[in-house]
């Protein structure tokens, strides 16, 4: 079965997200660990989390994906902001242990003029301070489009971060289709080539989740504006090839398309129908 879901609001708690996912035909989802612009996270209600874990087990959910706050910048020029990022992620990872064995994704950071090498150094430094051998959460670096001074704009930069992290078995990658397309990787005409490049530089075993988005902009535009499935320059055919690719089809696919819940339900239905894996499972 295709593992697919979308970004959901955390405001009504964990159990509510599980029920909402079921109501739109999803068997995974993404959520913010706290306000995307930062700030204090709500206290965890263990009963609420236990209810979600029951739903996930009963309905064979794929791993779910927490997304860190956008303000978290591991490679800010300002040491105070780096300290804030470190504390925020460390706190998020403590909370993630209520949901054992799932995924936590973050934007590597913006080097704000210090250069990618300095940024990469600081990001790895933060991860080495935070990661714990006993944690069950896998921390994912998101592939970025390269707008502004984003670090992680190509596979080489992500590889360079991983090379400097000590507990690399706690690390993985979340590939955002809009971001890599805008970053210059031609998912439309050369999906195999892009995945080969990923495999050679990073290793496909490190790929743990896909942000499945179309793009409003063109290849290598370095813009990062998401479009609905089939409503952008990646297009439905290429997206269907992505969900059915043998190297990808077991991964959780998370939609971050501009949609209300009903729009997500439609995209999930469309993609389930286009998934070869779904039809095989009926035989």
Helix (H, G, I), strand (E, B) or coil at 224: coil
Closest CB to Zn ion among 150 and 224? Answer: 224
Which of 176, 182, 224, 267 lies at the binding interface for Fe ion (CB under 5 A)? 176
Binding site for Zn ion (CB under 5 A): 224
Alpha-carbon span 117 to 129, nearest angstrom: 19
214 binds, among Fe ion, Zn ion, none (CB under 5 to 8 A by kind): none
Closest CB to Zn ion among 18 and 108? Answer: 108
Closest CB to Zn ion among 21 and 180? Answer: 180
Q: How many residues bind Fe ion (CB under 5 A)?
A: 3
Question: Contact, 239 vs 272, CB < 8 A?
Answer: no
Alpha-carbon span 19 to 37, nearest angstrom: 26
Strand partners, 258: none
Count of other CB atoms within 10 angstroms of residue 238: 18
To Fe ion, the closest distance from the beta carbon of 279 in angstroms equals 28
Ranges within 112-171 binding Fe ion (CB under 5 A):
142
Residue located via tokens 């050679």: 200
211 binds, among Zn ion, Fe ion, none (CB under 5 to 8 A by kind): Fe ion
| CA-based radius of gyration for the chain | 18
Alpha-carbon span 60 to 236, nearest angstrom: 27
224 binds, among Fe ion, Zn ion, none (CB under 5 to 8 A by kind): Zn ion
Closest CB to Fe ion among 14 and 181? Answer: 181
Residues forming the site for Fe ion (CB under 5 A): 142, 176, 211
């Amino acid at each position: 079965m295709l593992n697919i879901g979308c970004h959901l609001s955390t405001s009504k708690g964990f159990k509510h997200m599980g029920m909402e996912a079921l109501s739109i035909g999803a068997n995974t989802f993404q959520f913010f660990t706290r306000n995307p612009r930062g700030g204090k996270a709500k206290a965890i209600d263990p009963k609420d989390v236990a209810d979600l874990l029951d739903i996930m087990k009963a309905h064979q959910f794929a791993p779910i994906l927490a997304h860190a706050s956008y303000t978290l910048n591991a490679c800010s020029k300002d040491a105070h902001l780096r300290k804030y990022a470190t504390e925020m992620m460390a706190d998020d990872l403590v909370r993630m242990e209520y949901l054992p064995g799932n995924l936590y994704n973050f934007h590597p950071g913006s080097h704000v003029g210090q250069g990618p090498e300095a940024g990469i150094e600081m990001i790895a430094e933060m991860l080495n301070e935070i990661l714990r051998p006993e944690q069950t959460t896998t921390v994912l670096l998101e592939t970025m489009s390269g707008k502004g001074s984003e670090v992680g704009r190509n596979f080489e930069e992500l590889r360079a971060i991983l090379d400097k992290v000590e507990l690399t078995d706690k690390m993985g990658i979340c590939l955002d289709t809009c971001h890599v397309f805008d970053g210059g990787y031609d998912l439309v005409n050369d999906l195999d080539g892009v995945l080969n490049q990923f495999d050679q530089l990073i290793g496909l075993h490190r790929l743990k989740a896909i942000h499945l988005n179309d793009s409003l902009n063109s290849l290598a535009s370095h813009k990062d504006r998401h479009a609905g499935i089939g409503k952008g320059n990646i297009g439905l055919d290429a997206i269907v090839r992505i969900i059915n690719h043998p190297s990808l089809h077991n991964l959780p696919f998370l939609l971050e398309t501009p949609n209300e819940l009903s729009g997500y339900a439609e995209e999930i239905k469309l993609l389930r129908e286009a998934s070869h894996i779904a039809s095989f499972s009926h035989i």
